[in-house]
Amino acid sequence: MTESEVIAEQAKGNSCFLIKIGMFYNAYNEGAYALAKITGYKVKTKQRKRLGTIYVLGFPISQLPKIITKIKENNGNIKRNTDDVVEFEGIDISSTDVVVAAEEYTQPVSETNRSSNVKEMVLRELREYDLSNSSPMDAINFIAKLKRELQRKD
């Protein structure tokens, strides 16, 4: 499912979705509000060309069992749980009492600053990568992604 598909499906009011994106699960709009209420995580705003402002809550895949437990503890129901999508219902999806953090504005960087920023990002991602919860294919894809970032020239 894409972001736009998730947002459209949730707008119908039946279910909320967690979507696996790389090493994280993301919840959007109503799903983000629901999880923020039961976890205390912050919801962030993101700008998308086709969708405008959307609301996102993300967490590492290693936290999924805790999130599922929280959903169930708060009278929620897991309708579907596959490798890439978790569908749940029964949690309050209103935006009241939800902390929303504005998207950080980043200034354009020069090529020399970009190079050092990319290297810092790669080092940070390497430090934060959860190798023990990754398949060999996940690790190979992660390394390939980092390599592309290091080789990319704007």
pLDDT in tens, 41-76: 888 888 888 888 889 999 999 999 999 999 999 988
CB atoms near residue 17 (< 10 Å): 22
Tell me the mean pLDDT in the region 121-149. Answer: 81
Task: For the chain, give the percent of residues with pLDDT over 90.
Answer: 25
User: Residue for token digits 């999806």?
Assistant: 93
Residue with tokens 């020069």: 110
Handedness of CA 58, 45, 6, 146 (dihedral sign): negative
Average pLDDT of 102-117? 53
**What is the pLDDT at residue 137?**
84
The C-alpha atoms of residue 14 and residue 120 are separated, in whole angstroms, by 42
Residue 121 pLDDT > 90:
no
Tokens of 129: 């990568």
pTM for this model (two decimals):
0.62
